[in-house]
Amino acid sequence: MAKKKEFVEHITSQAEDFSRWYTDVIKNADMVDYSDVKGCMVIKPYGYGIWELIQKEMDARFKATGHKNAYFPMLIPESLLMKEAEHVEGFAPEVAWVTQGGTEPLQERLAIRPTSETIICSMYSRWVQSYRDLPLKLNQWCSVLRWEKTTRPFLRTSEFLWQEGHTVHETQAEAEEETMRMIRVYKEFAENVLAIPVIAGQKSEKEKFAGADHTYTMEAMMLDGRALQMGTSHNLGQNFAKGFDIKYLSREGKQEYVWQTSWGTSTRMIGGLIMVHGDDRGLKLPPKVAPIQCMVIPVAAHKPGVLDKARELTAALAAAGIRTEIDEREQSVGWKFNDCELRGIPVRIELGPKDLEQGQVVAVRRDTFEKITLPWEGLAEKIVSLLEDIHANMFAMAKAYRDAKIFPAKNFDEFRKGIDEGKGFVRAPWCGETACELEIKAETGATTRCMPLDEHEVVDGVCVHCGKPAKKIMYFGRSY
């Protein structure tokens, strides 16, 4: 154990300083670097590889639910941004403006998109004429810019990558169905791809998206007990339709305003999977988004046949669809083992002279560090099965941790204990009033996270804070 500790002394332990641990991990795993633009990060190939796999998995789900990809300008005329008052007010502090083009001042300021509802709605007002044009279901992969005062790579940066879906419907019911469908898509993705258990639910009136009728969210718990909002889906009602005059000729021959939704996730999910699964050894990547699922490490590579067989096995695993690489660098074998663990590679395969003689390899799981001896025959099928088991185990571990740190509270003493001592989520009856919500935040630092969709407990009794009749069950927590 002493030798292992020596390998990771450059990573601060989670218990000592979780924030510093996070920064150490993403830097040492070569995921990001800091740029010369304040608040903006450079995503290096290993970090971007995770995002590419997230994109691939999510994009397939979007297309399976009838959405098509498009692209809209990143510059938004000020006059467009001002058309929906609540939306403008919500984003005004974060908007960056372009005021000059070349050497000439612009006649109208251009906002660098903080989100794209307004520029997209300006086009929908041209494209939508009749009920035959509906539903219109588009998604955009792009970057956005929000002038953040405090930044942290992946979790909150001024510029970040994301996807934003924007749909248009005939009826309120269809828009609500779409809003709910997409939060379910996000939840399924988080659990079945990222191995992250999430609580899906509705945001409070105060926490909803600026310009929406209501917002749904999926909330995950990090290893320090804090909440991270992993994705949101918004029912926009007719707020933007009226601001941008988006009407259609109905089946009854009347001009009607459309009903709209928008929904989005971002590179914040990468920060989430780091803080849900990582440990003091470094990253622990879910297999489906690991750029390298299996690393083959020749042991005593100078011995006859070892390197050749390692290359052969690497090619065979890659041909079977497993993202596999071989580490032929000049560093020591111990250094390579450590590097695999630091980068969170789900499986490493060790092949030495004795393994060569016996027709086997030693597979080491990143999630449990268990060593498994496997024959060469049928190796690809066994690694595929192993990756599936790793995903299931990572999800189970994350869920068990989260569930153990959800504390029910019926009074404010229990509430404080859950937040301050338990350092987790508090599940409690709540009155639903913004004034009470603000008082809870001021007194504890905890915010409302969501009113759960999949829990159907009858709400009775009184609010956990103010004592008024309770109307909702709410999850509370301190957040990123």
Is the pLDDT at 126 greater than 50? The verdict is yes
d(CA 16, CA 469): 42
Q: What pLDDT digit, counting tens, does each position of 286-317 carry?
A: 999 999 999 999 999 889 999 999 999 999 99
pLDDT at 356: 94
Q: What is the mean pLDDT of residues 250-268?
A: 97
Q: What pLDDT digit, counting tens, does each position of 203-226 carry?
A: 999 999 988 999 999 999 999 999
Helix, strand, or coil (residue 119): helix
Instruction: Give the model's confidence band at 2: pLDDT under 50 very low, under 70 low, under 90 confident, else very high.
Output: very low
List beta partners, residue 136.
Answer: 168
Exposed / middle / buried, residue 139 (Cβ in 10 Å: 0-12, 13-18, 19+): buried
Picking from 117, 147, 305, the residue whose alpha carbon sits closest to that of residue 209 is 117
202's tokens? 């509705």
d(CA 229, CA 201): 11
Sort strands 294-298 and 324-326 into parallel, antiparallel or unpaired.
Answer: parallel
How far lies 5's CA from each of 1, 11, 24, 260, 338, in Å?
Answer: 6, 10, 15, 54, 10
Distance of CA 416 to the CA centre of its chain: 28
d(CA 52, CA 60): 12
Q: What pLDDT digit, counting tens, does each position of 128-187 carry?
A: 999 999 999 999 999 999 998 888 999 999 999 999 999 999 999 999 999 999 999 999
pLDDT at 362: 98
pTM comes to 0.94
326/91: higher pLDDT: 326
d(CA 407, CA 294): 38
Cis peptide leading into residue 77 (ω within 30°): no
Residue 474: enclosing H or E segment and its boundaries? strand 472-477
List CB contacts of 224: < 8 A, sequence separation 6 or more: 14, 18, 275, 423
Helix, strand, or coil (residue 55): helix
d(CA 477, CA 445): 8
Q: What percent of the chain has pLDDT over 70?
A: 98
Is the pLDDT at 3 greater than 80? The verdict is no
Phi and psi (nearest 5°) for 176?
A: -65, -40
d(CA 142, CA 71): 8
Q: What pLDDT digit, counting tens, does each position of 367-378 carry?
A: 999 999 999 999
Q: What pLDDT digit, counting tens, does each position of 265-294 carry?
A: 999 999 999 999 999 999 999 999 999 999
260's tokens? 């709209």
List CB contacts of 369: < 8 A, sequence separation 6 or more: none
pLDDT at 425: 98
Sort strands 447-452 and 472-477 into parallel, antiparallel or unpaired.
Answer: antiparallel
Q: What percent of the chain has pLDDT over 90?
A: 91
pLDDT at 4: 44
Span of 33-47, 51-65, 76-90, 302-316 with lowest mean pLDDT: 76-90
Instruction: Give the model's confidence band at 75: pLDDT under 50 very low, under 70 low, under 90 confident, else very high.
Output: very high
